[in-house]
Amino acid sequence: MKRRKDKKHIVETPKEHGLTDAKYLCVLVDISNYTNVISPLSFQGSIKVQKYHSIFINTMEAIARNFGGVSSKYGGGDKVVSFFPKKSKPSSDKTPFKDVLRCGLAMQAAHDDMNKKYYEEDLPPMNYRISADCGKIERQVAATCFNIYKKAPPNGMVIGENLYDMINNSFESDYHFTKIYEYHSDKNEHSQDPYPIYLISRNDDNVLAMQPSRL
């Protein structure tokens, strides 16, 4: 099975766009070490491969739907990409941005239960990486998520600066944000406009923190 090539990186910067009016909010989850896992599994037959994919995709899409997410055309196979429609609300309302963050962390928390299903089906365990960001142009937000997820540790979650700027001040009591990397779209480490990426960790084990804020 051929891996989909990652999208070309394009980043919207806060100073160029009014991100309080960001229309597109995105979460991407990608299976780690996919080729090495799926290649030996393919020798056991297509049913095994289909089951491996279906558990991952169904689990992640169900979590995204719980937070108002809709699966997009950018996903498939080893990736699930979900967008979260930002309905007409005051620009000061941070709820949609918080729900994107909660969705990604709920996906992260699903790791152990999902691997129990793999064990029951005699399938290899799975690890994955999660990224999220927001912006005004769908393909640009997706492209950013496609590029920054690689900086997440296995079963970890990273977000781009656009999303970080929208939520860090109102959310830092629940989560800890650590800048771990600055992405240079032109691959020049001395470029003037690098794009910071933040690793997220929860400050406590409050399960309610991962529930949709609209509920």
pLDDT of residue 59: 95
pLDDT of residue 184: 75
Q: Kindly state the DSSP code that residue 178 receives in the 8-state scheme.
A: E
Cβ count within 10 A of residue 64: 25
At the topology level of CATH, where does 19-207 sit? Alpha-Beta Plaits (3.30.70)
pLDDT of residue 76: 74
Q: Which regions of the chain are under pLDDT 70? A: 1-22, 86-92, 170-172, 185-192, 204-215
pLDDT of residue 71: 86
- pLDDT tens digits along 168-181: 776 667 788 999 99
Residue 114 CA to residue 116 CA, distance in Å, equals 5
Which residue type sits at 10?
I
Q: Give the residue from 167, 104, 199, 91 showing the smallest Cα distance to 136.
A: 91
- Domain parsing of the chain, residue ranges: 19-207
pLDDT of residue 132: 96
CB 84 within 8 A of CB 99: yes
- pLDDT tens digits along 142-153: 999 999 999 999
CB 205 within 8 A of CB 108: no
What region, left, alpha or beta, does residue 3 occupy, with left being phi > 0 and alpha being psi -120 to 50 degrees?
A: beta
Compute the Cα dihedral for 196, 151, 175, 89 and give only its sign: positive
